[in-house]
Structure 1
Amino acid sequence: MREDGCVTSPSSSTSSAPPRRPRPTAAQLEAARDAVIPDVIGPGLKVLFCGINPGLWSAAVGLHFARPGNRFWPALHASGFTPERFTPDRQRELPGLGLGISNVVARATARADELGTAELREGGRLLGEKAAEYRPGWLAIVGITAYRTAFERRDAQIGPQAERIAESRVWVLPNPSGLNAHWNAAALAGEFGRFREAAGVPAAGPVRQRGAEG
């Protein structure tokens, strides 16, 4: 749903999944408040995905979109952005595919509604500076409500936006949080796929019918 540096060269893929990380304790989650996850970023990416801000689970483990039930990683694969379903542990492989992850607001909170209007707008300004520095082809803002507030676009809808941020084109995607009941897994993957095609990003891996993954 929300989610964020230094980029290392992509690590080689393996067929075996990494061991499951232990569930953060209540104390670890509380200690993660206001923590920052480094961006997965580099110059000239095809797409920089921008979450709203990290949740406590993601901040506690130091990985983007890491809370179980968040559908970002399944949607990324089902839409053809990744050749297989990545776990959050593999986030540093994304730049090798021309992809990256950042956030509108860097600090972690338990809920996105803990962010005020001023903080979101400042986050939007800082994201503009980041876009000017790294020059991604597209910024994909993951969450329509945060986009409307951060960039003062009250009537914005899911999909491509007329304005650019720095020189980057903008597409707003649905929030992939499991709490977003307006978008099921197939619909979410379909919108991610519509964006991938519009952005001119070739499908990773064999072309096949996707979208039923949860």
Structure 2
Amino acid sequence: MSLSIWDLLLYAGALFVLFLTPGPVWLAVMARSVSGGFHAAWPLALGVACGDVFWSLVAIGGMSWLATSLAEVMLVLRWGACVMFVVMGVLVLRHANRKLSENRALTAPGLWAGFVAGLAVILGNPKAVLFYMGLLPGFFDLGATTLVDVAVIACLSFVVPLLGNLSMAAMVHHLRVVLASDQALRRMNRVSGGLLIAVGLLLPFT
């Protein structure tokens, strides 16, 4: 491996800073955690992490042309994600009075739906590809990277966002358990629905 531990630590720190920057992923994780708990949020976090790996590999390959050639695909993903989150938000708002165990607006599609939602929100966000395209060349000599280097960078790009989003999901989940009154449930469902709709409306402009 040609990469130094210091370079990897700096890159991991930059990924953590990226996680701390609020955006569509934050809203999506919070919305699913509030509405369906940790069980509903972790597949989305996994999908987001896989999307981060994809963009890091694109950047490592030095294929900036890929982002341009995928412009139409990214547009479809972005608008598809937009529609999906808005519809999910409307469903949560319509069932805001249901108890958490009865509110299946987010969890009914299953784990695969959460994973796909995570992929959609990260692949449909051009900030992600811009981050990786601009960041990786500044930290590493991509022309000199080995397969082991690529594997380590991809692992960091996967683990850091995943742990961050899982931690957020767990925190929101515990708050959700504490707030168990009917009034609090209605309020949480309304917030969750509003967040989901916000994700959908924000995606086309990010």
Above 0.5 in TM-score?
no
In our comparison, the structure showing a higher alpha carbon Rg is: 2
Give TM-score, length-normalised by structure 1. Answer: 0.24
Higher relative contact order (CA 8 A, sep 6+): 2
Q: TM-score w.r.t. structure 2 length?
A: 0.25
Task: Considering fraction of residues, name the structure with more strand.
Answer: 1
Structure with a larger share of its residues in helix: 2
